[in-house]
Amino acid sequence: MGRMKRQFAATVWREAEWYVSQCLEVDVASQGETEEEALANLREALELHFEEPRATLPFREIKRRLEAAGFTEHSQKGSHVKFVRARDLVVDTIIVPKKSEIPVGTLRSVLSQAHINPDDWERLG
């Protein structure tokens, strides 16, 4: 079955150093360093929102792979864990919910924030 295309209205605003994008019809939002990046990230988030549910990964496996990629667990607030990796002048920060199972959409967001492509992620497994 082919993919159905839908159009949604969005709004973008600046919050500190980030641009925040939000869909007006569906409760989905994203962010980026530019307006274009915020809108591209919102498009991806909407695609994930409407995607059929798929397999999940346990938090402990995500943590193990992030550590293999050079991240360290920095702190925890409530049910979310902050991982940090410093490379040269770049610091990557990722927030991961500490749940028994992490949905694939959340995992994709983690990989995007971590600047890890799916092939490299699989090699870390």
Q: Which of 13-17, 29-33, 50-54, 57-61 has the lowest mean pLDDT?
A: 50-54
Q: Which of 21-35, 39-53, 61-75, 84-98 has the lowest mean pLDDT?
A: 39-53
Element spanning 3, H or E: none
- Structural domain spans, the chain: 10-50, 56-124
Rounded percentage of the chain residues whose pLDDT exceeds 70: 94
Whether 96 and 59 have beta carbons less than 8 Å apart is answered as yes
The 10 Å Cβ neighbour count of residue 117 is: 11
Mean pLDDT over 49-64 rounds to: 81
pTM of the model: 0.57
Whether 38 and 12 have beta carbons less than 8 Å apart is answered as yes
Residue 1, pLDDT score: 44
The confidence band for 55, taking pLDDT boundaries of 50, 70 and 90, is low
Q: The domain at 56-124 falls in which architecture?
A: 2-Layer Sandwich (3.30)
Whether 62 and 118 have beta carbons less than 8 Å apart is answered as no
Tens of pLDDT, residue by residue over 59-116, are: 999 999 999 999 999 999 889 999 999 988 888 899 899 988 888 888 888 898 888 9
